[in-house]
């Protein structure tokens, strides 16, 4: 994203309340993540400390500081899902996609496959606890997830067993 594109976004958010979040959301939408150089430009253009921008981006789980894959998988690690085996689902997901999921307790956990097709992250509750364990792919919720039914879910998004 260049400086002019960022100016155009800034111009759309000239009301003080929620201004930063609105701008950051639009950057995230356009770029797929929040690049460091955009944060630096934003800091200079708005006179907001870079540390403040970083604290906002790291506080809200929908912002990412890294490029994300074509499909975003979010595994719920809330209490109900945890009790029903979310950890096993996450671990199986890691095996299928060939990624490391061992640091899943980190609040900002996000791992992207080498081919950039999938990014896996975690959430605390989707409000669908009766279907625990729950995961979402590109915003579509899948309840009663198990290591066994994961391949069928992933296949809907172009994953094939031999690719793992």
63 in Cβ contact with 35 (< 8 Å): no
Which 81-110 residues touch ligand FES, going by CB under 6 A? 81
The one among 42, 57, 72, 76 contacting ligand FES by CB under 6 A? 76
Distance in angstroms (rounded) separating the CA atoms of residues 25 and 21 = 6
Task: Using alpha carbons only, give the angle 70, 106, 50 rounded to the nearest 5 degrees.
Answer: 80
Pick 97 or 134: Cβ nearer ligand FES: 134
Strand partners, 72: 119
Pick 30 or 79: Cβ nearer ligand FES: 79
Q: How many CA atoms lie within 13 A of 34 on its CB side?
A: 25
Residue 21 engages ligand FES in binding (rule: CB under 6 A): no
Is the CA virtual torsion 146, 147, 151, 156 positive or negative?
Answer: positive
Which 119-138 residues touch ligand FES, going by CB under 6 A? 125-126, 128-129, 132, 134
Smallest distance, ligand FES to C-beta of residue 53, A: 30
Distance in angstroms (rounded) separating the CA atoms of residues 7 and 1 = 10
Residue 154 engages ligand FES in binding (rule: CB under 6 A): no
Instruction: Tell me the two tokens of residue 35.
Output: 């690049």
Pick 27 or 76: Cβ nearer ligand FES: 76
From the list 25-33, 37-45, 60-68, 72-80, the region that binds ligand FES by CB under 6 A is 72-80
Distance in angstroms (rounded) separating the CA atoms of residues 80 and 59 = 23
Smallest distance, ligand FES to C-beta of residue 71, A: 20
Residues within the interface to ligand FES (CB under 6 A): 76, 78-81, 125-126, 128-129, 132, 134
């Amino acid at each position: 994203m260049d400086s002019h594109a960022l100016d155009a976004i800034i111009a759309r958010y000239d009301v003080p309340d929620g201004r930063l979040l609105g701008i950051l959301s639009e950057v995230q939408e356009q770029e797929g993540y929040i690049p460091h150089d955009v944060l630096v430009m934003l800091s200079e253009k708005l006179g907001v400390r870079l540390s403040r921008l970083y604290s906002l981006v790291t506080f809200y789980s929908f912002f990412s500081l890294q490029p994300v894959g074509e499909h975003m998988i979010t595994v719920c690690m809330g209490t109900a899902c945890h009790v029903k085996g979310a950890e096993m689902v996450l671990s199986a997901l890691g095996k299928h996609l060939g990624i490391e999921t061992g640091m899943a307790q980190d609040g900002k956990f996000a791992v992207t496959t080498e081919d950039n097709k999938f990014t896996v992250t975690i959430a605390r509750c989707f409000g669908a606890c009766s279907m625990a364990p729950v995961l979402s792919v590109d915003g579509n919720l899948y309840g009663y997830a198990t290591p066994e039914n994961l391949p069928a879910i992933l296949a809907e998004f172009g994953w094939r067993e031999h690719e793992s």
